[in-house]
Chains A and B, each alone.
Chain A
Amino acid sequence: MNANTLKILLRKEVSLMKRNPIIPRLIVAMPILVMLIIPLVATLDVKNVEVVVVDNDRTELSRRMVADMDASEYLSVTGCYFSYDEAFRQVESGKADAIVTIPKDYLRDLTNGKRPELDLKANGVNATKGTLGAQYATMSAAHTLVRWQMEQGITIPVQEAAVVNLYNPTLNFRNYMIPALMVVLLIIICGFLPTLNLVSEKETGTIEAMNVTPVGRLEFVLSKLIPYWIVGILVVTVGMLIGWLVYGLVPEGNVVNIYLAAVLFSFVMSGLGVFIANRSATILQSIFMMFAFIVVFQLMGGLFTPIASMPRWAQCITYAIPPRYFIEIMRSVYLKGGTVADLWMQYAALSGFALLFCLIAAVTYRKRA
């Protein structure tokens, strides 16, 4: 390892980066945009389920049920219809997500000790919204019923389970997303920017001018990676600051654990990036390869959808997806105050992948064709 060579190469990279019209701006803008916008839009919380009601009972109780639903945070009653067919047309035209039908003589049957049933139909096209919407409507109706019965002096022993949510007490989806979103930033900054940089040297032919000199492969590759590692760490810092200042989310655990995971994950992504660069002759090829990895990493790494709810075979595959471990560490440190000792398996897996990918990158990097 030649320190002078590495120094001059780093100076070259910094000069080139500063004179690049896009990269410095991207590095500043991307983390801010990702951290400000994605937590707001990437949410699985179902709100504003639009309900239409067919009230065949038209009593005080039925009207109260409808009013309670409308008042709920999650539901909004967009219309009352006289017939089911009319209500159904609303669902068909996409204007409503669910239909609640209150049967005729609902109140009378109830008072007479019978067990009349509400009818609930939900649009299953958006499965999450349909399922949750139906649940919310059921809960709302049950709640109204219980209160009404209490007011009437009818006491039915109801067991209400009190649930306390550990670690994320308000079940805020943002608290789940923000720690994990940093994975997106590191994938792009430490994995794909250096790849594009290396491949663009191939396209312009400057890499050949380098390959014909005695420059060491290690020095050359490190000069490509070190600037992005530094940028990656800065970006994680900015991400944490935005999480704190904008969303009031502070890690429960030690930030050192976060930086350790970020550094390891940066090595993983850099190794992968250099490997892709070694195998691509043009920027277009490298972009297609990266895109394949981005899609798998983001959709299967547990970023948006929990790994635990994937089919068994898919869960097995996720063990081979490095972002999975980084995301687990981030969520655990942020929400549960996880430590390296708690998360040693994840750290070990990240270290293993870092070693493996860097080895593959080293073996496939050639100065001679």
Chain B
Amino acid sequence: MDKETVISVKDLTKKFGNFTAVDHITLQVRRGEIFGFLGANGAGKTTAMRMLCGLSLPTSGTGTVAGYDILRQAEEIKRHIGYMSQKFSLYENLTVWENLNLFATIYGMSAKRIKEKTDAVFRALGMENMRNVLVKEIPLGWKQKLAFTAATLHSPDVVFLDEPTGGVDPSTRRKFWEMIYRASSEGMTVFVTTHYLDEAEYCSRISIMVDGRITALDSPAGLKRQYHAGTMDEVFRIVAKDAKREN
């Protein structure tokens, strides 16, 4: 593994009883990439991502994230990643500032640095007036930006985003992707799942999961060439047509 590889897994598998949610996936992600993790509902994307984040113990397989072993060094991995779950999971009854301060302190940031970073973020997002508002009172689009901020404030090596743009309007989605690009340009590796195939075009490389396996993995242009397709939409339909699991 060269040092520019941030995520590397081999034959990663997760079984729940007789059900194989993730079936021997193998992939590498390089530093600074925006890696799109595509697949239909139930294909095993979230389970795979949870194994990479140290939230779920693999049944078999090996791998490293940010240079640490998935099986034995999960807590070390957690110091070097950020994770934004599909379900909004900041504390609704804490203010915007209290949430950010909580997570940043847990990641070991100093009070001074937290203040500098949050001031910069609030300015960049135009959220200064929301600092002391309870999170439950801010609109969905802002919540997602806030969740992204909470996951990236400590400048992790990799940030994992699980369907970060679910349920928001196109213009908010575009702005969200601007945040992703900014993070990527700062050297962060972005590992993102999505259902929106236009978003897939923004990624450096893409994998498509079908029934727990990775059946395609390349850059968007490469995939289109390989499947003789004009758009990612077509690629996805060709790759996922044999899916057996319920959508």
Q: A369 is contacted by which of B55, B103, B150 (Cβ under 8 Å)? A: B55
Q: B107 is contacted by which of A19, A211, A214 (Cβ under 8 Å)? A: A214
Contact B55 A211 (CB under 8 A): yes
In the assembled complex, B207 has its CB within 8 A of some CB on chain A: no
Closest to B95 in A: A15
Bound Cα distance from A361 to B111, whole angstroms? 32
Closest to B83 in A: A212
Cβ contacts under 8 Å, A5 to chain B? 105-106
Contact B55 A215 (CB under 8 A): no
Bound Cα distance from A215 to B83, whole angstroms? 14
Question: Quick one: CB contact mask for B68-97 with A, threshold 8 Å, 1 for yes?
Answer: 000000110011010101011111111000
Q: B57 is contacted by which of A19, A210, A368 (Cβ under 8 Å)? A: A368
Tell me which residues from 3 to 42 in chain A have a Cβ below 8 Å from any Cβ of chain B: 4-5, 8-9, 12, 15-16, 19-20
In the assembled complex, B201 has its CB within 8 A of some CB on chain A: no
Contact A12 B98 (CB under 8 A): yes
Q: Taking A211-B55, A212-B83, A214-B79 as contacts, is the C-beta distance between A4 and B105 under 8 angstroms?
A: yes
Closest to B92 in A: A204
Cβ contacts under 8 Å, B105 to chain A? 4-5, 8
Cβ contacts under 8 Å, B74 to chain A? 367-368
Bound Cα distance from A213 to B134, whole angstroms? 22
Tell me which residues from 161 to 207 in chain A have a Cβ below 8 Å from any Cβ of chain B: 204-206
Q: Taking A8-B102, A205-B89, A213-B103 as contacts, is the C-beta distance between A369 and B56 under 8 angstroms?
A: yes
Cβ contacts under 8 Å, A16 to chain B? 91, 93-94
Bound Cα distance from A8 to B90, whole angstroms? 15
Closest to A210 in B: B106
Within the complex, what minimum Cβ distance (angstroms) separates B53 from chain A?
5
Bound Cα distance from A231 to B98, whole angstroms? 24
In the assembled complex, B149 has its CB within 8 A of some CB on chain A: no
Contact A212 B91 (CB under 8 A): no
Contact B55 A19 (CB under 8 A): no
Contact A206 B89 (CB under 8 A): yes
Within the complex, what minimum Cβ distance (angstroms) separates B38 from chain A?
22
Question: Quick one: CB contact mask for B7-29 with A, threshold 8 Å, 1 for yes?
Answer: 00000000000000000000000
Closest to A217 in B: B75
In the assembled complex, B54 has its CB within 8 A of some CB on chain A: yes
Cβ contacts under 8 Å, B91 to chain A? 12, 16, 206
Contact A212 B75 (CB under 8 A): no
Query: Which of B78, B108, B150 has its CB near the most chain A CB atoms (within 10 A)?
Result: B78
Contact B98 A208 (CB under 8 A): no
Bound Cα distance from A15 to B98, whole angstroms? 9
Cβ contacts under 8 Å, B53 to chain A? 212
Closest to A12 in B: B102
In the assembled complex, B101 has its CB within 8 A of some CB on chain A: yes
Closest to A207 in B: B89
Cβ contacts under 8 Å, A369 to chain B? 50, 55-57
Contact B101 A8 (CB under 8 A): yes
Closest to A2 in B: B108
Bound Cα distance from A59 to B150, whole angstroms? 93
Q: Taking A19-B93, A213-B78 as contacts, is the C-beta distance between A205 and B106 under 8 angstroms?
A: no
Cβ contacts under 8 Å, A211 to chain B? 55
Closest to A212 in B: B83
Within the complex, what minimum Cβ distance (angstroms) separates A221 from chain B?
14
Closest to A20 in B: B93
Tell me which residues from 100 to 148 in chain B have a Cβ below 8 Å from any Cβ of chain A: 101-103, 105-108, 134
Cβ contacts under 8 Å, B57 to chain A? 368-369
Closest to A209 in B: B89
Closest to B150 in A: A209
Bound Cα distance from A9 to B56, whole angstroms? 24
Closest to B84 in A: A209
Tell me which residues from 42 to 67 in chain B have a Cβ below 8 Å from any Cβ of chain A: 50, 53-57
Q: Taking A204-B89, A206-B89, A209-B89 as contacts, is the C-beta distance between A214 and B94 under 8 angstroms?
A: no
Within the complex, what minimum Cβ distance (angstroms) separates B45 from chain A?
16
Bound Cα distance from A211 to B56, whole angstroms? 10
Bound Cα distance from A267 to B54, whole angstroms? 30
Within the complex, what minimum Cβ distance (angstroms) separates B16 from chain A?
10
Bound Cα distance from A205 to B91, whole angstroms? 9
Tell me which residues from 229 to 280 in chain A have a Cβ below 8 Å from any Cβ of chain B: none
Q: A206 is contacted by which of B79, B83, B90, B106 (Cβ under 8 Å)? A: B90
Cβ contacts under 8 Å, A12 to chain B? 91, 94, 98, 102
Contact A205 B54 (CB under 8 A): no
Within the complex, what minimum Cβ distance (angstroms) separates A263 from chain B?
28
Cβ contacts under 8 Å, B98 to chain A? 12, 15
Bound Cα distance from A12 to B108, whole angstroms? 16
Cβ contacts under 8 Å, A9 to chain B? 102, 106
Closest to A17 in B: B93
Within the complex, what minimum Cβ distance (angstroms) separates B103 from chain A?
7
Bound Cα distance from A212 to B94, whole angstroms? 19
Tell me which residues from 131 to 178 in chain B have a Cβ below 8 Å from any Cβ of chain A: 134, 150
Contact B107 A213 (CB under 8 A): yes
Which 5 A/B pairs are nearest by Cβ-Cβ distance? Answer: A205-B89, A212-B83, A209-B89, A8-B105, A214-B78
Show 13 A/B contacts (Cβ-Cβ < 8 Å), sorted by A: A9-B102, A12-B98, A12-B102, A15-B98, A16-B93, A16-B94, A210-B106, A213-B103, A213-B106, A214-B107, A367-B74, A368-B74, A369-B55
Q: A204-B92, A367-B54, A369-B57 are in contact. List 16 more A-B contacts (CB 8 A).
A: A4-B105, A5-B106, A12-B94, A12-B98, A209-B103, A210-B106, A212-B53, A212-B54, A212-B78, A212-B83, A213-B106, A213-B107, A214-B108, A215-B106, A367-B55, A368-B74
